[in-house]
């Protein structure tokens, strides 16, 4: 049975993980940075050395390609993103690219060309920032809005014209597959080798402003204050109490408040304004809508202060391709790997890709469920299982079509 070459694969993975790594702090490899460009050049060299035909599009996505045996056949595309969050780990994104290179190389070495062309992609700027999340894959799929300001684009040496020229042709591709760490605890806790996502959660973010009145913190009686911080705290306490009750009945969404600020922000001043970002995630968009309405009703019922709720981000949930899910299941079974269908609670390049071409994902366990942290890790045996599942899936699909 054909397998990846473990020593080579893990050595290359460790080498890539050194680029941008800051001891004690984690990864420093944002898109378009010097460390990012160095990492992309390393991948570019691996692809060239493996005999791939390579190219870099206008926004910085790197592609490596092997032609197939059948003239005019559509391509398989495999990969993930190369950039990393500040202080993040070595596994997020990078694993999927290197696995794509190794799997493609092994198939070529031992079997020769597949019937279909096989491409590996290292997408840029998945992790957010001024360009927004999944930027590289959105550019490739034509999903970058014309509303993105030109000054932001030009600061990265980009333009709407460059983005448009980076758009891929849907008719050229048969499927997209992305191997990724789970970034959650399910597989790790259950000792399951392979997760097969059925869908990717939608993400909705609201900016919440609570407006009161600034005043002297020593002379204003407590009962007369219009304290924005206090009102926001009571609102959130009520909200999270409701969330806990709701999730005991239906565990169908998650929420987070990860940003909170006060104005004017002085110890002797009653806060005039409290602002925070509420994030909601679910596999069902209608659940997010209902939950958001509940929060809005709490906001409107808030005493003493006025509140507003502004939509910032709205990414619909995505269903992954059922035929690819079945192919990944068959591949895991053939290899004897334990596996489970699970949702993806994080966004991935697979999300915009699913609007472009049939898309599937393969998850491997994250130790203790930790990700976006310097402590992020996946056991070498699980990395190998994931890569071999990807390999077997490609063989399965190439034989079926």
Nearest to 192 by CA among 27, 36, 339: 339
Residue 175 has pLDDT above 90, yes or no: yes
The predicted-structure confidence for 85-100, as pLDDT tens digits, reads as follows 999 999 999 999 999 9
**pLDDT of amino acid 90:** 98
Alpha-carbon distance of 261 to 39, in angstroms, equals 36
Residue 128 has pLDDT above 90, yes or no: no
295: enclosing H helix or E strand = helix 285-300
The annotation places the binding site for Zn(2+) at 81, 92, 127, 180, 372
Strand residue runs (E) in 57-193: 62-66, 75-81, 118-123, 173-181
Indicate the CATH number for domain 6-200+318-399: 3.40.630.10
**pLDDT of amino acid 146:** 87
**pLDDT of amino acid 129:** 86
Over range 39-65, report the average pLDDT: 98
Full-prediction pTM beyond 0.85?
yes
**pLDDT of amino acid 63:** 99
**pLDDT of amino acid 147:** 82
Nearest to 122 by CA among 66, 163, 61: 61
Residue showing tokens 């000054």: 151
Residue 13 has pLDDT above 90, yes or no: yes
Q: Where are the CATH 3.30.70.360 domain residues in the chain?
A: 203-315
Alpha-carbon distance of 349 to 327, in angstroms, equals 20
**pLDDT of amino acid 400:** 72
Over range 49-62, report the average pLDDT: 98
Alpha-carbon distance of 305 to 229, in angstroms, equals 10
Over range 128-142, report the average pLDDT: 94
Instruction: Using a pLDDT cut of 70, give the percent of the chain over it.
Output: 100
The predicted-structure confidence for 371-399, as pLDDT tens digits, reads as follows 999 999 999 999 999 999 999 999 999 98
Token duo for residue 41: 């050049």
Quick one: fold of 203-315?
A: Alpha-Beta Plaits (3.30.70)
Q: Where are the CATH 3.40.630.10 domain residues in the chain?
A: 6-200+318-399
Q: What is the mean pLDDT of the chain?
A: 97
3-state secondary structure of 286: helix
Over range 183-200, report the average pLDDT: 98
Nearest to 359 by CA among 382, 333, 387, 327: 327
Token duo for residue 268: 């002797």
| Beta pairing class for 339-344 and 194-200 | parallel
> Where is average pLDDT lowest: 72-76, 129-133, 188-192, 219-223?
129-133
Residue 112 has pLDDT above 80, yes or no: yes
Kindly indicate the confidence band of residue 122, based on its pLDDT and cuts at 50, 70 and 90.
very high
Over range 139-163, report the average pLDDT: 94
The annotation places the binding site at 81, 92, 127, 180, 372
The predicted-structure confidence for 282-306, as pLDDT tens digits, reads as follows 999 999 999 999 999 999 999 889 9
**pLDDT of amino acid 401:** 59
């Amino acid at each position: 049975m054909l397998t990846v070459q473990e020593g080579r694969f893990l050595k290359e993975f460790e080498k890539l993980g050194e680029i941008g790594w800051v001891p004690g702090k984690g990864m420093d490899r944002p898109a378009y940075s010097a460390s990012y460009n160095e990492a992309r050049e390393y991948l570019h060299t691996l692809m060239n050395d493996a005999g791939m035909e390579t190219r870099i599009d206008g926004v910085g996505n790197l592609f490596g390609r092997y032609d197939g045996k059948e003239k005019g056949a559509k391509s398989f595309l495999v990969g993930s993103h190369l950039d990393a969050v500040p202080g993040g780990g070595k596994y997020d994104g990078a694993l999927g690219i290197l696995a794509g290179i190794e799997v493609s190389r092994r198939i070529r070495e031992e079997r020769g060309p597949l019937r279909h062309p096989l491409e590996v992609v290292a997408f840029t700027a998945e992790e957010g920032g001024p360009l927004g999340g999944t930027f590289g894959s959105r550019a490739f799929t034509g999903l970058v809005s014309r509303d993105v300001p030109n000054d932001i684009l030009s600061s990265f040496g980009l333009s709407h014209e460059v983005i448009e020229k980076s758009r891929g042709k849907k008719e050229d591709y048969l499927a997209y597959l992305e191997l990724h760490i789970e970034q959650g605890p399910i597989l790790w806790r259950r000792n399951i080798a392979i997760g097969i996502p059925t869908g990717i959660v939608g993400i909705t973010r609201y900016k919440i402003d609570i407006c009161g009145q600034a005043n002297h913190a020593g002379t204003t009686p407590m009962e007369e204050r219009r304290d924005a911080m206090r009102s926001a705290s009571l609102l959130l306490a009520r909200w999270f109490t409701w969330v806990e009750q709701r999730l005991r009945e239906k565990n169908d969404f998650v929420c987070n408040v990860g940003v909170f600020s006060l104005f004017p922000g002085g110890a002797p001043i009653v806060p005039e304004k409290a602002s925070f970002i509420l994030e909601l995630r679910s596999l069902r968009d209608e659940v997010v809508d209902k939950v958001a309405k509940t929060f809005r009703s709490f906001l409107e019922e808030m005493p003493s202060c006025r509140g507003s709720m502004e939509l910032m981000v709205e990414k619909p949930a995505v269903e992954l391709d059922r035929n690819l899910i079945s192919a990944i299941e068959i591949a895991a079974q053939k290899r004897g790997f334990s596996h489970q269908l699970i949702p993806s609670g994080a966004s991935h390049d697979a999300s915009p890709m699913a609007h472009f071409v049939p898309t599937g994902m393969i998850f491997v366990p994250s130790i203790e469920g930790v990700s976006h942290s310097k402590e992020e890790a996946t056991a070498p045996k699980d990395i190998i299982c994931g890569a071999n599942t990807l390999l077997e899936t490609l063989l399965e699909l190439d034989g079926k079509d």
